[in-house]
Structure 1
Amino acid sequence: MNHETKAIKTLLLLFIVSIFTAAFSGCSTPRHPEALKTAQEAMPPCDGAPLPELPDVTLTSVTDETQPVPHCKVAGVIGPEIHFELLLPANWNGKFVMGGGGGFVGSVMNTSLMFGALRAGYATVGTDTGHQGHPLDGSWAYNNLERLVNFGHQAVHRTAVTAKALTKAYYQKEIDRSYFTGCSRGGGQAFMEAQRYPEDFDGIVSGAPAYNWTALAALTSQINQAMYPDPDNLQEAVVGPKEQELIESSYLEMCDELDGIKDGIVNDPRQCAFDVATLLCKGEKTEKCLSADQLAAVKVIYDGPKDSKGNPLFYGFPFGGETALGGWPRWLTGGLNYQEDLAGFQGGVAAGDFKQPLTPSAFYAFGNGIMKYFIYNDPDWSYVNYDYDTLTEDSKRIGETLNSTSPDLSAFRKRGGKLIIYSGWSDAAVPADAVIGYYEDVLTHDKTAAEDVRLFMMPGTEHCFGGPGPSWVNWLDEIDKWVETGTAPDQVAAYWLDENMQPEGSRLLCAYPQVAEYDTEGGTRDVSSFGCGGDK
C-alpha cells in the first residue's frame, strides 16, 4: 500500500468516526426530553451569559456557535497555561461530561465529542493539560515540573472543577450527573480521576488506558531498540511488512476458527497456542521465515520488556494488529519508507498546526519522549546500550505523578461511582493483558469492586477504534444508563460501520471474564447470534 492510499484511509477512518457519531449516537433520543424542550427558551444569549469570575481563571472568549448544534463556547486559561474549551448547548440535558486527550495532548482535546456528547445535550469540556505542542512531542516537559504535574493529573482535575462551576452558573441550575470519557492517554486520565479525585465524576469510561507511564517507557524503548538498533537509520524496521504478514497469517491458520467463525479475528488471543519461534529460518533467510534478529525483535513485542537479568518490566502484546494500518505499522514498526505522517495515530486526536517530530512510528516518539524529558531530563539520552536495570528506581519519582496504577477505588465507589473499562485485543499501543492485569488487581484488592467496575475486551479492535472487529460502542450512553438505573452492564452490542457511516453488523461484548460465544447457526454479524459464555 503506498503512502497516499494509507493517508486517505486514515483520514477516511477519522471522518467515518466523526460522522457516524453524529448520525448514529448524537441524535439519539435524549433521556430527559421534557428538559430539552424548555432549555433553549430559558437560555440567555451567549454574549450575556452569567459567567462568574473564578480564582486563577481567565476567560479568553465567549462565542455563539451553531454547529453541530447551537451552543455557547467558552474558552479560557487556568493558572498560567492550562487551556480549556467548555461547550454549553442551548438544549441542555442537565448533565456534564469531560472528554480526555491522547498522546502527549498539547492542544485542547475532547474525545467525548466522538460519542455525540454535544448533540445529545451534554455540557462538555476538554483541555490541553497545560502545554502546547504536537501530541507526539514530549519536549515541553524538559526542566518543567509544573507541566508534568499538570499533565499527570492536575490539569484534568482543575478543568473539571472550573468547567462544572461555569456550567452551573450558566444554566443557573445544579448538574444532575457528571461523567468522564477518555481513551489511551484519556483512559489513563480516567483512572487518575477515579483514584486521585473521586469526587469529580459520577461515572467514568476508560478506554485502552495508558495508565503506567514508567512501564510504558520500558516497553516503548525496548521495542525501539529491537526495531531500530541504529537510531540514525529509521527508514525500515528490523521486522517489516512481509514478516508481519507471515506472522499474522501463520497464527490465524491455527487459531482463527477457535471461536467457530473464520473471519480473521481471534476471539481471545490467549487461547492461541501458536509459537512464533517455529518461523525461525532453518537456513538461508527467505520470505517464509524470520531471521534470528527478526525473531528476537518480535519476541520483545510478544514477551514484553525485560532488564538485563531477564526480569519482566511490563506486559507484552498478544497476537493481533500485525498488518492493520492502525496496528503494528503505526505504533511499533513503521519506518520512514512506509509512512510519512502519523497525524491520525489515534482516532479523535488532531495534531493541529504543530510540527510532527521525525519518527518512524508512534512508539519511537513516545519512548524517546518519556525517557528524555520525563524520566532522565536529558535531551541527549539514547536507548543505544541502555540495559533497563535501574529504570524502576530512576523513574520512581516521576511515576508518583504520572502513573494511575492504584487498585484502591474505594473512595470513588463509596460515593456511588461507576467505572467502565474497555480495550481492544488487537491494540498495538497499550497491551490488552496490561488492562486485564489492572482490572484483576482491583478485584484482588477488593472483590466487591466487581459491583461497580466492568471490563469489556473487544476482539479484533485496535487502539480505541478500528480493526477487523466491531469497534463502535457509544460508551457515554452505556455509563449514563448504568449510573441512572443502577443496573451494571453485563453485555453490550458493538458495531461495524459501512462506507455510508452506518451500522453494518454487530456482535456481543461480554463483561470480563466472560466471552461472547457463537450459537453456530445465526448470522456471524448479528448480535442475537451470540451469548455470554463461561469464564476463559
Structure 2
Amino acid sequence: MRTPHALPSAACAVLIVMSGCATKEHSSRPGAATPAPLQKCTELATAFGFANARITGATLEPAGRLVNAGQPVGEHCRVTGRMNERTSPVDGQAYAIGFEMRLPTNWSGRFLYQGNGGTDGVVVAADGGNSLGSGGLLRNALQMGFAVISSDAGHSSAQNPLFGLDPQARRDYGHNAIGTLTPMAKALIRSAYGKGPDRSYIGGTSNGGRQALVAATLYPDAFDGVLAQSPGIHLPRASVANLSNVKRWDTVVTTREVNGQPDYESALPPAERELVARAVLARCDALDGLSDGLVNDVEACRTAFDPARDLPTCTGERDGRCLSAAQKIVLAAVHGPARNGAGEIIYSGFPFDPGIRHPGWAEWKFRSSLRTARNPVSVGFIFSSPPVADLAMATDTRKSAAFALAFDIDRDGSKIFTTSGVYTDKALDFMGTLEAPEFDRLRGRGGKVLVFHGTADPIFSSDHTQAWYRALDAHQQGRAAEFARLFLVPGQGHSRGGPATEQYDGLAALVDWVENGRAPERIVASARGAGNPGGANTDVPADWSPTRTRPLCPYPQLARYTAGDTESAASFACRR
C-alpha cells in the first residue's frame, strides 16, 4: 500500500514500500544475438503495415552521413513514422507518437529502444549515442550494429509543456509510448531483416533513464537488458524538491535580476562553489586512500565534511573566500532531504561532492527553476492534478519564476499525489512507482539491469538512487546483484560532465552480461581531457592526466587505491 504524501520508513531505504520478498530465481541467460543482413529499406514505406502506424519515410543512408567520435557511422536504413494519431477531446490539440528507426545494413540481431530526455517532444537521431549517458561515447549503438528507435514520447516540442493538459499525452510521456512503439518496432525489424530481434534492450539518461526502469516494471517481457543513466527515479518528487528550495536561495541572493530575469545563481556563484568544492576535497578526497580530486567514499564523507564547521564564515562582505552564516544554513538545507510540513520526506538529500563547481550544477539548481522555467512548468502542467490554471506561465518566465518563489510543498507539491476530474492517474503512477517487487518479472525471465549515477548530479539525487537499490536488494534477500547493479560515478554531474572520469561503455557491459553471463565486476571509465575523440570535458582539472582512468565499482563497493600509477584504473581495487 502506498502512502500518498510521505515516503516509507527508513528501514525501507526511505523510498520504496516493500511487500514481501522475491522468491523466483532468474532463468538461464538468454544467449547471444545472431547477425542478419538488411533485406528491405525503401520498400518499407509502402510494404510495411501495423495497426495505428503510418510510415512517413524510408531512405537508405550512406556510410558517413552520420559521424560519431570522428568515425563514420555505417550504412543504414532510416525509417520515420507516427503512431496513434488523434485529436484530444480535452484541449483540442492533434497528438501522435512520432518516431525514427535506424536499421544498420550489417545488423547484430539486437534492438535498442532509445529513451528520451527532459520533457521530450523531439525525435532525435536514433543512434543510441549520448542519450544513453556517459560523456562522449566512442561507439554508439548504431555503430555496434543495433537497430534503434527513438521517439518524441507522444507530443511535439511546440506542445511543451501544455501537453500535460491532455491525460493521454501524460501517459504517453510517462510510459505508454514505449509500450506502443516497441511491438511495432520489432515487427518492422522482422520485415526489414526477415527475422525479429534476438535480444532487446532499452536505455536512456535522465528522464530516459527513468523510462528504462519503468519499462523494466511495466513491459518486462519486451526487454532483456535495461540501461539507466542518471535516472529520474520518482521524477515528480525530484522536481517538487527542487522547487521547494527556491525560497531558501532567495534569502541569500545578492542580485535580484540580470537582463530582466531572476538571478538566483548569485545565492552561490562560481567562486563560492569553488570554495565549497575545495573544502569537500580537503576533508574527503583521501578517504579512499589517495588524494586525486575525486571523492569515492561518499558514505565516509557524510560525517567527515560539515559545512558549518569546514567552510570559512564571512565577517564582512562576501568576496568569494567565505560564506555568510545564512549561506551555510541554506547550503546544508538544500543538500538535505525535502520534507513536507509534517516532516515526512518527499525526496532524498544530495551528497556533498566537488562536482558542485561544475557549471551544470547551477543550471539545474537555479536556472531550471527560474530562467528556463523547466521545473515550474513540469510540476505545474505535467505532474499536478489538476494542472495550473494560468496557461501563460508556459511562456512567461516571470510568471513561472513567481510560481517557483511562491511554491508551497504542502499546498502545491501535494498535487503530484492526487487525481482530479479527467486526470485519473497520479503523477507517480504514469511516471512509474518503481517499487522493488515490480522488478521480479524481469529477473524471473533472466533480464539484467545496469544503473549509473553521478554523485554530483544536482537534480536527480544519487542518494535517492542508492536508496532505491537498497530497497531492491532487501526485497531480493541480499541478491539483487545477481540481476541488477548500480555504479556511482564520482564527480559527475547530471548525465555527463563535472570533474570526473565519465566516459564509459555501459551498453557493451550490459550486452556482455545479458548474452554471455559475465556480470560487470568493474567498468573502466576515462577522463575526457584534451584530444579525446569523443570531445573534451572542460571540467577535467588541469592537474589530471587527460587520459586518466578509474574503475567504476558496483555499489556498495568503491574504488580504493592500492599501488602504482595514480592515473591508471589498474592501480585501484573495488572494495567496501
TM-score range, shorter chain: 0.7 to 0.9
Shift in Å at residue 467 of structure 1? Answer: 1.9
Output the CA distance in 1 between the equivalents of 2:318 and 2:60: 62
**Bigger mean CA deviation after superposition, 216-225 or 185-194:** 216-225
Cα–Cα, structure 1 residues 34 and 403, in superposed 2: closer, same or farther, change >3 Å? closer
> Which residue of 98, 101, 106 corresponds with 2:116?
101
1:98-129 deviation digits (Å, cap 9, x = unpaired)? 11111111101347234511111111111110
Cα–Cα, structure 1 residues 45 and 189, in superposed 2: closer, same or farther, change >3 Å? closer
Output the CA distance in 2 between the equivalents of 1:308 and 1:33: 53
Output the CA distance in 1 between the equivalents of 2:246 and 2:317: 23
- The aligned residue for residue 20 of structure 1 is none
Output the CA distance in 2 between the equivalents of 1:450 and 1:243: 39
- The aligned residue for residue 421 of structure 2 is none
| 1:485 maps to 2:485 | no
Shift in Å at residue 76 of structure 1? Answer: 0.6
Q: Describe the SS at the equivalent of 1:333.
A: helix
Output the CA distance in 2 between the equivalents of 1:523 and 1:367: 47
Output the CA distance in 2 between the equivalents of 1:225 and 1:423: 27
CA contact (8 A) 1:138 1:370 kept: no
Amino acid at match of 1:105: D
> Which residue of 505, 529, 532 corresponds with 2:571?
529
- The aligned residue for residue 181 of structure 1 is 203
- The aligned residue for residue 408 of structure 2 is 387
Structure 1 regions of 5+ residues with no counterpart?
1-30, 335-341, 343-357
RMSD after superposition: 2.6
Cα–Cα, structure 1 residues 497 and 131, in superposed 2: closer, same or farther, change >3 Å? same
CA contact (8 A) 2:34 2:109 kept: no
- The aligned residue for residue 472 of structure 1 is 503
Cα–Cα, structure 1 residues 455 and 394, in superposed 2: closer, same or farther, change >3 Å? same
| 1:324 maps to 2:374 | no
Output the CA distance in 2 between the equivalents of 1:315 and 1:50: 51
| 1:513 maps to 2:529 | no
Cα–Cα, structure 1 residues 418 and 97, in superposed 2: closer, same or farther, change >3 Å? same
> Which residue of 255, 266, 269 corresponds with 1:240?
269
- The aligned residue for residue 84 of structure 2 is 79
User: What TM-score, normalized to structure 2?
Assistant: 0.76
**Bigger mean CA deviation after superposition, 237-246 or 365-374:** 365-374
Amino acid at match of 1:235: D
Cα–Cα, structure 1 residues 496 and 281, in superposed 2: closer, same or farther, change >3 Å? closer
> Which residue of 361, 374, 380 corresponds with 1:365?
374
Shift in Å at residue 62 of structure 1? Answer: 0.9
> Which residue of 465, 474, 493 corresponds with 1:435?
465
Amino acid at match of 1:107: V
Output the CA distance in 1 between the equivalents of 2:236 and 2:464: 13
Amino acid at match of 1:331: W
Amino acid at match of 1:437: A
Shift in Å at residue 228 of structure 1? Answer: 4.3
- The aligned residue for residue 151 of structure 2 is 127
CA contact (8 A) 1:182 1:205 kept: yes
Output the CA distance in 2 between the equivalents of 1:34 and 1:188: 29
Shift in Å at residue 492 of structure 1? Answer: 1.4
Cα–Cα, structure 1 residues 329 and 443, in superposed 2: closer, same or farther, change >3 Å? same
Shift in Å at residue 486 of structure 1? Answer: 1.6
Amino acid at match of 2:157: G
Q: Describe the SS at the equivalent of 1:490.
A: coil
Output the CA distance in 2 between the equivalents of 1:48 and 1:428: 44
Cα–Cα, structure 1 residues 479 and 253, in superposed 2: closer, same or farther, change >3 Å? same
CA contact (8 A) 2:127 2:148 kept: no
- The aligned residue for residue 22 of structure 1 is none
* Higher relative contact order (CA closer than 8 Å, sequence separation 6+): 2
CA contact (8 A) 1:73 1:85 kept: yes
Output the CA distance in 2 between the equivalents of 1:34 and 1:378: 51
CA contact (8 A) 1:131 1:140 kept: no
Q: Describe the SS at the equivalent of 1:103.
A: coil
Output the CA distance in 2 between the equivalents of 1:313 and 1:398: 14
Cα–Cα, structure 1 residues 191 and 233, in superposed 2: closer, same or farther, change >3 Å? same
> Which residue of 308, 311, 316 corresponds with 1:284?
316
1:202-254 deviation digits (Å, cap 9, x = unpaired)? 00111111020231132121133333467985134322222212211222122
Output the CA distance in 1 between the equivalents of 2:459 and 2:207: 11
1:290-328 deviation digits (Å, cap 9, x = unpaired)? 2344234322321132223443221121112211123x2
Shift in Å at residue 392 of structure 1? Answer: 6.3
Q: Describe the SS at the equivalent of 1:46.
A: coil
- The aligned residue for residue 265 of structure 1 is 294
CA contact (8 A) 1:495 1:507 kept: yes
Shift in Å at residue 188 of structure 1? Answer: 0.2
Output the CA distance in 2 between the equivalents of 1:172 and 1:33: 15
Cα–Cα, structure 1 residues 496 and 275, in superposed 2: closer, same or farther, change >3 Å? same
Residue identity over aligned pairs, in percent, reads 29
- The aligned residue for residue 12 of structure 1 is none
1:2-30 deviation digits (Å, cap 9, x = unpaired)? xxxxxxxxxxxxxxxxxxxxxxxxxxxxx
- The aligned residue for residue 25 of structure 2 is none
Output the CA distance in 1 between the equivalents of 2:127 and 2:56: 22
Q: Describe the SS at the equivalent of 2:359.
A: coil
Q: Describe the SS at the equivalent of 2:165.
A: coil
CA contact (8 A) 1:138 1:369 kept: no
Q: Describe the SS at the equivalent of 1:504.
A: coil
**Bigger mean CA deviation after superposition, 179-188 or 262-271:** 262-271
Q: Describe the SS at the equivalent of 1:264.
A: coil
| 1:118 maps to 2:142 | yes
Cα–Cα, structure 1 residues 504 and 50, in superposed 2: closer, same or farther, change >3 Å? farther
Shift in Å at residue 50 of structure 1? Answer: 7.8
Cα–Cα, structure 1 residues 72 and 325, in superposed 2: closer, same or farther, change >3 Å? same
Shift in Å at residue 63 of structure 1? Answer: 1.2
- The aligned residue for residue 5 of structure 1 is none
Shift in Å at residue 33 of structure 1? Answer: 11
**Bigger mean CA deviation after superposition, 283-292 or 212-221:** 283-292
Q: Describe the SS at the equivalent of 2:513.
A: helix
CA contact (8 A) 2:122 2:156 kept: yes
Cα–Cα, structure 1 residues 57 and 433, in superposed 2: closer, same or farther, change >3 Å? same
CA contact (8 A) 2:243 2:407 kept: no
Structure 2 regions of 5+ residues with no counterpart?
1-30, 66-72, 86-95, 131-138, 391-399, 418-425, 534-545
Output the CA distance in 2 between the equivalents of 1:35 and 1:200: 20
1:472-518 deviation digits (Å, cap 9, x = unpaired)? 11111111100111221121111122332248231111111111111
Shift in Å at residue 404 of structure 1? Answer: 3.6
Output the CA distance in 1 between the equivalents of 2:177 and 2:500: 34
- The aligned residue for residue 443 of structure 2 is 413
1:425-452 deviation digits (Å, cap 9, x = unpaired)? 1212211101101111111222233211
Cα–Cα, structure 1 residues 55 and 49, in superposed 2: closer, same or farther, change >3 Å? closer
- The aligned residue for residue 27 of structure 2 is none
1:42-70 deviation digits (Å, cap 9, x = unpaired)? x3453467842100001111111113221
Amino acid at match of 2:565: G
Q: Describe the SS at the equivalent of 1:199.
A: coil
CA contact (8 A) 1:494 1:509 kept: yes
Shift in Å at residue 386 of structure 1? Answer: 3.6
| 1:52 maps to 2:9 | no
Shift in Å at residue 533 of structure 1? Answer: 1.2
1:74-107 deviation digits (Å, cap 9, x = unpaired)? 1010102100101111111111111111111110
| 1:454 maps to 2:485 | yes
Shift in Å at residue 464 of structure 1? Answer: 1.6
Cα–Cα, structure 1 residues 462 and 393, in superposed 2: closer, same or farther, change >3 Å? closer
CA contact (8 A) 2:501 2:527 kept: yes
Shift in Å at residue 390 of structure 1? Answer: 4.8
Q: Describe the SS at the equivalent of 2:493.
A: coil
Q: Describe the SS at the equivalent of 1:227.
A: helix
